[in-house]
Amino acid sequence: MRILGIETSCDETAVCLIEAEGNLGADFTFRILGNGIASQAVAHADYGGVFPNLAKREHGRNLVPMLEIALRESGALNLRHEKGLTMSFSRLRKSLKNILAREPELFERLEPFLNEHARPDVDAIAVTVGPGLEPALWVGINFARALSLAWNLPIVAANHMEGHVVISMTEFLDSHNLSGRIDYGNEKRYIEGNIVKFEFPAVTLLISGGHTELILMKEWMQYEYLGRTRDDAAGEAFDKVARMLGLPYPGGPHISRLAEDSRQNNLPRAVTLPRPMLKEDTYDFSFSGLKTAVLRFTEQQQTLSEELKKQIAREFEDAVTEVLIAKTIRAVEEFGANAVVVGGGVSANKHIRAELHRQLSAVNQCIPTLQGVNPAGRECPPAHKRRALLVSSFSARKYESSLSYFSRSTSLVNCKLLLCPTEFSTDNAVMIALAGYFHALKKEFAKPDTLRASGDLLLA
């Protein structure tokens, strides 16, 4: 089945075409045939965050060029023989104008595109309907409705967070040929992948610009919220702290770079920041106090030297990492999870990836000691919760060496750590197409006219 994925929930305009077959947990495989993605980060930089109406306008401008890239890369961009305003096209034009009444710039670009190009070989459209910025989501939805009408295609209403979950479970088969960017070049090589084999239950940590959530999955596509942030999301905190340090938006990668510099140069600790809700008996998070603590500290300084910025970045990254991972591991132990799935833009963070790996290995190492306490002095979970946890130091080492690289589903024997390649951690259309595929398989299609943007859409 060929799915056209459309993502416009925030500041990335993305369209892709994938081909997928098989079912979850069985024989599923997919290929990315074409992938167009336009980041608006530069446009939003002056605002220090995403400005919804600017995002809406940029999506309107970028969707057709991204569609064109996705189809061209797929070899599915073909000219129409019968161009011009034929009877049927002029009728279609009228309906398109209606659907895109609020997106005039999109209509201006889509109408000539549809007039000139033939219907591509596609079976369904998957479009993000939430959560996200509603003005931005509507552009993608109306684009999907227009294409659905023009090409007579069913639509799947995709949940953005489910996209992050599903793509984090994937394994890319030719990862050694991926080098940071998807570059098809002249050689027509499609990126292929499948879903990592693992057993439920799984604990999922979703960390993005708008969300910080711990979720328990006992089955495919079934979600139980364990906890979520009570205020700022992890990515939001990274972005706001970056701004305080004079770093551009999005701030996560910049903080990460400074923090790494501080670690490599062994800079002393210049500030001690709180670890919010670390010890509290809840899976909820809170990052706004941490952000305020950084603000207070920076306000007390006469100048922020480059060295001090690095020290602050490191302490901040350490604080976020400790809280996120402590709660994730607590959930692994409580629910006897066989897998930890980590997704969302912040999961691209190198330090968080390295610490997840290290601390999950330590949990697994509880098992061989069988004395209730592992060599690191950590309390072991009770036996019934330990059944899944065994250690394989070989695969652990293998994981470590590939860590800065990409994904990996590395077996920490039974409790696997599932992360996707870093360029798929942040928003993209492939994750939407993948999530959409599993609903399309079950014929869970939406009626185009009843589609609505849902800024706060939940997974359960």
Closest CB to ligand KG4 among 44 and 386? 44
- The answer to whether residue 210 forms part of the interface with ligand KG4 (CB under 6 A) is yes
- In the complex, minimum distance from the CB of residue 321 to ligand KG4, in angstroms, rounded to a whole number: 10
Our CB check for ligand KG4 shows the closer of 150 and 346 to be: 346
CA distance linking residue 460 with residue 223, whole number of Å: 6
Q: Which helix (H) or strand (E) holds 290?
A: helix 288-300
311-350 residues in contact with Zn ion (CB under 5 A) are none
Using the rule CB under 6 A, which residue among 60, 130, 252, 381 binds ligand KG4?
Answer: 252
Please state whether the peptide bond connecting residue 250 to the residue before it is cis, i.e. omega within 30 degrees of 0: yes
* Residue of this chain nearest to Zn ion (CB atom): 208
**DSSP codes joined into one string, 69-121:** HHHHHHT---B-SS-S--HHHHHHHHHHHHHTTT-HHHHHHHHHHHHHBPPPS
Q: Shortest gap between Cβ of 131 and ligand KG4 (angstroms)?
A: 8
Residue pair 294/314 in contact (Cβ under 8 Å)? The answer is no
- Backbone phi, then psi, for 207, in 5-degree steps? -130, 110
- Quote the DSSP letter at residue 378: P
Q: Enumerate residues 339-398 that contact ligand KG4 by CB under 6 A.
A: 344-346, 348-349
438 binds ligand KG4 (CB under 6 A): no
Instruction: Give how many residues touch ligand KG4 by CB under 6 A.
Output: 19
The helix-helix angle for 393-402 and 350-364 (nearest 10°) equals 180
**Contact positions with ligand KG4 (CB under 6 A) in 291-350:** 344-346, 348-349
Report d(CA 366, CA 199) in Å as an integer: 20
Query: Judged by CB under 6 A, does residue 407 bind ligand KG4?
Result: no
Contact 128, 7 (CB under 8 A): yes
Residue 427 touching ligand KG4 (CB under 6 A): yes
Query: What residues contact 30, with CB distance under 8 A and at least 6 apart?
Result: 18, 19, 20, 21, 170, 192, 193, 194, 434, 437
Our CB check for ligand KG4 shows the closer of 162 and 427 to be: 427
**Which lies closer to Zn ion via its Cβ, residue 213 or residue 427?**
427
In the sheet with 408-410, reading across from the earlier edge strand, the strands are 222-228, 212-219, 202-207, 339-343, 416-419, 408-410
12 binds Zn ion (CB under 5 A): no
Query: Shortest gap between Cβ of 164 and Zn ion (angstroms)?
Result: 6
Of 164 and 357, the one with the shorter C-beta distance to Zn ion is 164
Rounded to the nearest whole angstrom, what is the least distance from the CB of residue 197 to Zn ion in the complex?
A: 25
Q: How many residues are recorded in the chain?
A: 460
The one-letter code for the residue type at 98 is N
Which of 74, 208, 361, 428 binds Zn ion (CB under 5 A)? It is 208
What is the distance between the alpha carbons of residues 132 and 271, in angstroms, rounded to a whole number?
A: 34
Residue 99 or 247: the one with the smaller Cβ distance to ligand KG4 is 247
Considering only residues 142 through 181, tell me which ones interact with ligand KG4, judged by CB under 6 A. Answer: none
Indicate which single residue of 10, 76, 214, 446 sits in contact with ligand KG4 (rule: CB under 6 A). 10
Reduced to 3 states (helix: H, G, I; strand: E, B; else coil), residue 423 is helix
Among 155, 156, 89, smallest CA distance to 117 is for 89
Strand order through the sheet with 12-21: 155-159, 124-130, 2-7, 12-21, 29-39, 191-195, 170-172
Quote the least distance from Cβ 162 to ligand KG4, whole Å. 12
Which residue among 22, 227, 253, 455 contacts ligand KG4 (CB under 6 A)?
253
Q: How far is the CB of 275 from ligand KG4 (least distance, A)?
A: 17
Site residues for Zn ion, 416-445, by CB under 5 A, read 427
Nearest distance from C-beta of residue 426 to ligand KG4, angstroms: 3
**Mask 218-247, x = binds ligand KG4 (CB under 6 A)?**
-----------------x--xx--------
Other Cβ atoms closer than 10 A to 265: 10
Q: Which does 328 bind (CB under 5 to 8 A by kind): Zn ion, ligand KG4, none?
A: none
394 φ/ψ angles, rounded to the nearest 5 degrees: -65, -50
Q: Using CB under 6 A, list all residues that contact ligand KG4.
A: 10, 208-210, 235, 238-239, 250-253, 256, 344-346, 348-349, 426-427
Residues forming the site for Zn ion (CB under 5 A) = 208, 427
